[in-house]
Amino acid sequence: MQAEARSEMQTIQAGDLTIAYHEFGPSDGVPAVLLHGFPYDIRAYDDISAELAEQGVRCLVPYLRGFGLTRFLSSDTMRSGQQAALGADLLAFMDALGIEEACLGGYDWGGRAACIAAALWPERVSGLVSCGQGYNIQDIAHAWKPAPPEEETRYWYQYYFHTERGRAGLTQNRRELCRHIWSLWSPSWQFDDATYAATAPSFDNPDFVEVVLHSYRHRFGCIVGDPAYDEIEARLAEQPNITVPSIILQGRDDGVDPPAKTDSCRSHFNGFYERRIIDDAGHNLPQETPPAFVQAIMDLMELGK
C-alpha cells in the first residue's frame, strides 16, 4: 500500500457529536474501528493501532461521547449514555467517514457499541472482537433480576452512580475514583503513574459526569432515555443475535467481569464464533495484552478474505 500512516488527532461531525479520533495506517487499508470503555480512553489502543498499521490496517480510534475531545453539537441534546446512543454514534462515525464496512473491536462501553452495530447493521461489520461479556447488549427489561451476591458486589460502582452521593463523588473525585476502578478491575496489571496520567484528562470532558450517570441509571431502568433512540432500544430489547464472525476475548483476571466456566453468551452468536480466555489480563484487555487483541483482529481479517 502506498499511503503513509497517519496518527494526528482529527475531528468529524457525526450525528449529535463532533467526534475526536486518531487514525493510524494507510488510508486505503482495510478499516478497523477500535472502541474504548469506561473509565478508559483511546490510549488503550496505542500499541495495537501501531502494530495493525504496520500490517496495513487502517485503524480509527474515536473518543466516545463524554470522553476526551469529543463534544456534543448542541447544548439541548440529552447527555445520554444509554446503549442505543453508543451504537448510533458508531454508525454515524462510520457514515461520516464514508466507511461502508469495518472490523469492529471494543470492550466495556466500546464493546457494547460494537455488538450493537454487529447485531443491528451486520452489513456494515466484517468481523467483531468483543472483550469481557462477549454479548454486550443490555437486557434492560430484566436488569432488576438479582445476581448472585459475589457478582452483585462487583457492581458497587453502578449502584453508587444511582445516587446523588455518587454524582458528587464522580464530580469531585473522578481521577481518584477511576484509578481505583482500574486497580480493582485489572489486579494483575502493574500500570504506572504515567500510564494513568495519559488517560485521566479524558475524564475532564464537560459531559463526562452526566453521560456516565445516565449510562448506569438507564441500564437499570431508573431513568428515561433519549426519545431519539427509542426505535433502536426497542430492537435491542429483543436481544438480537449477532451473525458476523466474532472472537470473544476474556481476561482471566478481570475483576468486574471474570470469565465463567460456561459460555452463556454463545447462544447469541450464529456465525463463526470463538472464545479465547487470556491469561494475565484483566478488564482493560487491549492495553494489558495488546498481542492477543491484534491477533484476534488479524484472524478475522484473514477469515474474511
Q: What is the DSSP-derived secondary structure letter of residue 242?
A: B
% residues pLDDT > 90 (the chain): 96
pLDDT, position 8: 75
Q: Average pLDDT, whole number, for the chain?
A: 96
Q: For the chain, which domains are there?
A: 9-303 (3.40.50.1820)
Residue 298: pLDDT over 90:
yes
pLDDT, position 6: 54
Digit-coded pLDDT (tens) for 123-155? 999 999 999 989 999 999 999 999 999 999 999
Q: What is the DSSP-derived secondary structure letter of residue 256?
A: S
* pLDDT class of 304 with cuts at 50, 70, 90: confident
The whole-angstrom separation of Cα 146 and Cα 166 is: 21
Residue 5: pLDDT over 60:
no
The whole-angstrom separation of Cα 241 and Cα 99 is: 23
The pLDDT of 170-177, averaged and rounded, is 98
Residue 268: pLDDT over 50:
yes
* pLDDT class of 305 with cuts at 50, 70, 90: confident
Residues 6+ apart with CB under 8 A from 27: 3, 6, 58
The pLDDT of 246-255, averaged and rounded, is 98
Residue 30: pLDDT over 60:
yes
The whole-angstrom separation of Cα 32 and Cα 110 is: 13
Residue 3: pLDDT over 60:
no
Residue 2: pLDDT over 70:
no
- Residue 146 grid cell: 438479582
Question: How much is the pTM?
Answer: 0.96
Instruction: Describe the crossing of helices 164-172 and 174-185 by its angle, rounded to 10 degrees.
Output: 100
The pLDDT of 20-25, averaged and rounded, is 97
Contact yes or no for 166/213 (Cβ under 8 A): yes
Return the top range by mean pLDDT from 1-10, 255-264, 289-298.
Answer: 289-298
Among 121, 115, 126, 55, which Cα is nearest to 91's?
121
